[in-house]
């Protein structure tokens, strides 16, 4: 029986393996930021349309994740962190991952176009292209700036969410984009400081590999300094307010303090305590983004309940 060979062969993929191809953890961040982008927009969206749109944006993110796993199977096999992904673990064939990624791209973009509008669908298509082609196929293996420019792919979802509601782009959606874009380098470089061996083995030109950890620490500080004004500027737009400002101020002071600590730290000290500070800055960076977007959601809630502060200054 041919089925027996399929069922017991090396590529015995189950539903969970195909689901893992979509990078569910990345997808959860995409769902959250896209939903916030949609909900804080000044135009109301029918709940069914909003739910479906966020789902299709998440599916688009999953599609680019599957394409990334297809293309990167060789380096995923080398890195400890990624060895158990479905393709390097020989659960899903590379060809299946590619086909799934391509089909999900078509379905997610097409359905978002039908559900929301063509502008949002076009932006989603560009996001998938940027992550799968510009970042995965081109930048990741060729430049230590891979994280900086590739970070744009992760920064698009709130813009797509905003476009679902408004059909366009505005200062607010560009600032949400800039917030994630500027946050990505210090977030990933903090991770790279204590996961350096993995990237070295795989030959990925991470900044820690090409320019060393001292330069990486300096770059983390630079990007964190540049990130703070972007995060605070959102306070004075139509989606910001005093609650967001207070949260952003506290988080940016903490993040700057963390980046400063990493910059001042010698490599010997980091090795001695097994990169405790680097790990805590990485953890802080996760809270940093989640809380900024939660604060934006809180401001939207206050506006809806007409509890917003009318005297709060708005520049745009």
Q: Which residues bind another protein (CB under 8 A)?
A: 7-8, 12, 14-15, 46, 48-49, 52, 55, 114-115
- Closest distance between another protein and the C-beta of residue 46, in Å? 5
- Closest distance between another protein and the C-beta of residue 168, in Å? 19
Residue tagged 């999953």 (tokens): 62
Residue 21 or 152 having the CB closest to another protein: 21
Residue 52 or 298 having the CB closest to another protein: 52
- Closest distance between another protein and the C-beta of residue 12, in Å? 7
- Closest distance between another protein and the C-beta of residue 49, in Å? 6
Residue 49 or 174 having the CB closest to another protein: 49
Secondary structure (DSSP) of 63-107: HHHHHHHHHTHHHHHH-GGGTTSTTTTTSS-HHHHHHHHHHHHHH
Residue 103 or 287 having the CB closest to another protein: 103
Q: Contact at 8 Å (CB) between 169 and 126?
A: no
Residue 5 or 306 having the CB closest to another protein: 5
Q: At what angle do helices 242-264 and 212-233 cross, to 10 degrees?
A: 170
- Closest distance between another protein and the C-beta of residue 60, in Å? 15
Residue 93 or 145 having the CB closest to another protein: 93
- Closest distance between another protein and the C-beta of residue 115, in Å? 6
Residues 6+ apart with CB under 8 A from 135: 146, 149, 150, 153
Q: Contact at 8 Å (CB) between 57 and 160?
A: yes
């Amino acid at each position: 029986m041919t089925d027996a060979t399929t069922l017991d062969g090396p590529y015995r993929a189950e539903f969970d393996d195909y689901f893992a191809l979509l990078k569910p953890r990345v997808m959860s961040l995409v769902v959250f930021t896209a939903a916030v982008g949609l909900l804080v927009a000044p135009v109301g969206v029918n709940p069914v349309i909003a739910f479906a749109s966020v789902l299709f944006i998440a599916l688009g993110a999953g599609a680019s994740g599957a394409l990334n796993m297809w293309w990167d199977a060789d380096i995923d096999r080398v890195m400890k962190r990624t060895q158990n992904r479905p393709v390097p673990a020989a659960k899903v064939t590379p060809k299946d991952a590619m086909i799934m990624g391509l089909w999900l791209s078509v379905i997610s973009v097409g359905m978002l176009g039908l559900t929301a509008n063509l502008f949002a669908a076009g932006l989603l298509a560009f996001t998938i292209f940027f992550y799968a082609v510009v970042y995965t196929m081109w930048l990741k293996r060729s430049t230590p700036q891979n994280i900086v420019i590739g970070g744009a792919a992760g920064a698009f979802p709130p813009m797509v969410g905003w476009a679902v509601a408004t059909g366009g782009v505005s200062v607010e959606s560009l600032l949400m984009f800039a917030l994630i874009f500027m946050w990505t380098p210090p977030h990933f470089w903090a991770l790279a400081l204590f996961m350096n061996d993995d990237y070295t083995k795989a030959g990925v030109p991470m900044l820690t590999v090409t320019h060393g950890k001292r330069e990486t620490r300096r770059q983390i500080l630079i990007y964190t300094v540049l990130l703070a004004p972007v995060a605070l500027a959102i306070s004075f737009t139509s989606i910001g307010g005093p609650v967001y400002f207070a949260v952003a101020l506290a988080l940016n002071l903490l993040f700057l303090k963390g980046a400063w600590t990493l910059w001042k730290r010698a490599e010997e000290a980091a090795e001695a305590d097994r990169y405790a500070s680097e790990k805590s800055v990485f953890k802080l960076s996760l809270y940093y983004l989640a809380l900024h977007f939660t604060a934006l959601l809180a401001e939207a809630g206050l506006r809806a309940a007409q509890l917003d502060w009318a005297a709060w200054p708005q520049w745009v």
